[in-house]
């Protein structure tokens, strides 16, 4: 019996990805919800000794004897994020992540991303795809899953810091699951990004009839039903991260934080419900990082890990959204409950959404077919 050794895969450009449905936010939220169910039962693997690592990152020294070595400038990352996901997906993949905030001066996005999807049995490539939109939509969809289960159903007012890509996809996910949203309060650094964001909201979501640009974090948070901080910035000193103060927070508010965030002592109290996208991810970070870990990774869930280490919180006070999605823990308990959810970002999300988009592309004949080999020269 002869084996067929030929391996073809498809290449999907950014425009191919759009045609294959990568910007369908409601479908992405539904896919992320299914993914969380698989996380809860353990049908997945990521990197690291506990199978929950964010990925492997190349870091650069402040002073190098090699003149061409990149400097550790703001948001400088080169990173591989591998994962396997079971269930209806049953695929593996890796996102390669190159990031530098100085890219913006060249007219490029802060991050330039590619994703390779693989057959989990042979390891053969199925697709190599542009991943900026893939990553942006799966990141925004996670707050959407959180809002579906933890926001008040009558939520109308969104407070948003950071009118960039992450802000757009998070708002899109909020609106996908909370259709009564009609008011947006937004804080940004530059007029150009604010103008671009507001024009996008008006064109995409005409039901948002009130848009207010605000100057302070307090105005972002106060009286908002849904709050999200989506701004990038320097990492190292949590005192400089955007803060949430308890006195600003409306009873019943849901906060989803996929970027830099800190909280005051009153927000640390146990009556504020604290939810993570995956506890194992934060445990892996905490193992890998110098302490306090929040100095190195600015998402609020890492601060929760520091709080546990400092004796300020019991591990049982943290909840996984996967357990809530699976129906093994309650969603929102009452209309007054204040809930904050940390969004760290995981490669299983890229595998999930990448698999759906890939299957759409195959079904619709989208993409460029490439040949790896007919027969491998070395075998």
229 by Cβ neighbours in 10 Å (0-12 / 13-18 / 19+) ranks as: buried
Q: Is the distance from CB of 325 to CB of 149 less than 8 angstroms?
A: yes
Q: Is the peptide bond before 292 cis (omega within 30 degrees of 0)?
A: yes
- Low-confidence winner among 75-84, 214-223, 357-366 (lowest mean pLDDT): 75-84
**Which residues have CB under 8 Å from 104's CB, separation 6+?**
110
Q: Residue 349's pLDDT is what? A: 98
What percent of the chain lies above the pLDDT cut of 70? Answer: 99
* Cα distance between residue 88 and residue 91, in whole Å: 9
Domains detected in the chain: 7-134+348-373 (3.30.1780.10), 140-345 (3.40.50.720)
- Low-confidence winner among 58-72, 83-97, 158-172, 317-331 (lowest mean pLDDT): 58-72
* Cα distance between residue 145 and residue 155, in whole Å: 14
* Cα distance between residue 158 and residue 308, in whole Å: 30
- Low-confidence winner among 3-12, 104-113, 260-269 (lowest mean pLDDT): 104-113
Task: Tell me what the mean pLDDT of segment 356-364 comes to.
Answer: 98
Q: Is the pLDDT of residue 178 over 80?
A: yes
Task: Tell me what the mean pLDDT of segment 171-181 comes to.
Answer: 98
Residue among 173, 208, 205, 167 nearest 189 (CA)? 167
280 token code pair: 């194992």
DSSP class of residue 315?
Answer: G
Q: Residue 173's pLDDT is what? A: 98
Q: Is the distance from CB of 53 to CB of 280 less than 8 angstroms?
A: no
* Cα distance between residue 222 and residue 224, in whole Å: 6
User: Tens digits of per-residue pLDDT, 99-151?
Assistant: 888 888 899 988 999 999 999 999 999 999 999 999 999 999 999 999 999 99
Instruction: Characterize the bridge pairing of strands 125-130 and 111-118.
Output: antiparallel
Q: Within a 10 A sphere around the Cβ of 242, how many other Cβ atoms?
A: 20
**Which residues have CB under 8 Å from 41's CB, separation 6+?**
326
Residue among 282, 301, 311 nearest 342 (CA)? 301
200 token code pair: 């996008």
Residue among 163, 301, 293 nearest 232 (CA)? 163
First and final CA of the chain: distance in angstroms? Answer: 17
Q: Is the pLDDT of residue 269 over 70?
A: yes
60 token code pair: 């650069």
């Amino acid at each position: 019996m002869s084996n067929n050794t030929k391996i073809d895969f498809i290449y999907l450009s950014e425009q191919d990805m759009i045609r294959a449905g990568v910007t369908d936010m409601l479908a992405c939220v539904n896919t992320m919800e299914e993914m969380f169910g698989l996380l809860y039962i353990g049908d997945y693997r990521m990197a690291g000794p506990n199978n929950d690592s964010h990925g492997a990152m190349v870091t650069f020294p402040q002073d190098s004897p090699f003149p061409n070595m990149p400097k550790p400038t703001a948001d400088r990352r080169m990173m591989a994020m591998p994962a396997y996901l079971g269930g209806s997906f049953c695929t593996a993949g890796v996102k390669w992540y190159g990031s530098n905030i100085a890219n913006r001066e060249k007219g490029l996005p802060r991050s330039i991303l590619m994703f390779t999807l693989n057959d989990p049995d042979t390891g053969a490539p199925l697709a190599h795809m542009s991943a900026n939109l893939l990553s942006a939509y799966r990141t925004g969809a996670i707050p959407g899953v959180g809002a579906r289960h933890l926001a008040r159903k009558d939520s109308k007012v969104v407070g948003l810091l950071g009118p960039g890509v992450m802000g757009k996809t998070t708002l899109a996910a909020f609106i996908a699951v909370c259709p009564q949203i009609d008011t947006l309060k937004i804080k940004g650094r530059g007029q150009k990004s604010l103008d671009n964001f507001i024009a996008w909201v008006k064109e995409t979501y005409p039901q948002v009839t009130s848009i207010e640009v605000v100057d302070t974090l307090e105005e972002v948070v106060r009286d908002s039903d849904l709050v999200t901080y989506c701004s990038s910035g320097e990492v190292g000193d949590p005192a400089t991260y955007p803060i949430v103060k308890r006195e600003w927070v409306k009873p019943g508010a849901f906060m989803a934080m996929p970027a830099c965030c800190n909280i005051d002592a009153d927000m640390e109290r146990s009556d504020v419900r604290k939810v993570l996208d995956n506890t194992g991810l934060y445990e892996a970070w905490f193992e890998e990082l110098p302490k306090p870990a929040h100095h190195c990774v600015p998402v609020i869930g890492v601060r929760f890990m520091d709080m546990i280490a400092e004796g300020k919180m019991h591990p049982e006070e943290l909840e996984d959204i996967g357990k809530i999605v699976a129906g093994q823990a309650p969603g929102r308990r009452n209309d007054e409950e204040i809930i904050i959810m940390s969004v760290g970002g995981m490669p299983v999300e890229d595998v999930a959404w990448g698999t759906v988009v890939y299957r759409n592309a195959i079904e619709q004949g989208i993409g460029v077919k490439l040949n790896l080999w007919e027969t491998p020269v070395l075998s």
